[in-house]
Copies of this chain bind each other. A is one copy, B any other.
Amino acid sequence: MSVNKNAVILLSGGLDSAVTLYYAKSKGYKPAALIFDYNQRHRKEIKSAVRIAALNNLKYYVIKIGLGWVKSSLTDRKIKVVSGRNLKSKKIPLTYVSGRNIIFLSYAASFAESIGAKSIFIGAHIEDYSGYPDCRPQFLESFKEAINEGLKCKGIKIKTPLLHKSKKEIIELGLKLNVPFKYTWSCYKGGKAPCGKCDSCRFRIQAFRQLGMEDPLLAKMSHVTSGA
């Protein structure tokens, strides 16, 4: 009996989901991607996600989501992006978007059923679930149960290959899988180059440094700005 290798992947344009995609492909999955436009502060991460999908010849949809009621520094330009989140703190950061993964995974469930996929890949990991309740393994397990009750098809799995990895370990895995990190975008702000100061930038830069290398995205940027 052949195993069903059709899959859905949530692609954000960031580093984690890119590594998750390359991991899924390395295991023989044939992913189709969902990319979400939830009125992020900037379009850079959507463009990055589309680029990564296109690079891999994925079938993909960009889904526009209106969350007019959400107060988050990721969607509301009036709320300042602050940095300095402590990964060991259980405090939920201002970048929390209420129900974001709940909504994303709901679309993924509908999409998966429609294309006959049994696996949904998401790049959630331990450093996120310290702060975001919708990245926690308990939520992901519980949500999997719920969608299998609510769909016509049964046996859909939510796959989280990065769940217990640190950012450094995620990058190490990505390097092995030849993930084109230079095309990923992590900065919460949407400047020409990453700000280097927001939490997302800090964790990324730090992880590359731990591996003794420069972030390929920054290397590309300095190349551009130097005009070389």
Contact = CB atoms under 8 A, between A and B. Distances in A.
Contacts of A6: none
Interface of A: 61, 63-64, 66-71, 92, 96-103, 105-107, 109-111, 113-115, 133-134, 136, 138-139, 142-143, 145-147, 149-152
Please state the number of chain copies in the assembly.
Answer: 2
Contacts of A149: 133, 136, 138-139, 142-143
Main secondary structure, interface of A, reads helix
Contacts of A105: 106
Contact of A143 (B71, B100, B146): B146
Contact of A139 (B97, B102, B114, B146): B146
A134 B147 CA distance: 8
B102 A147 contact: yes
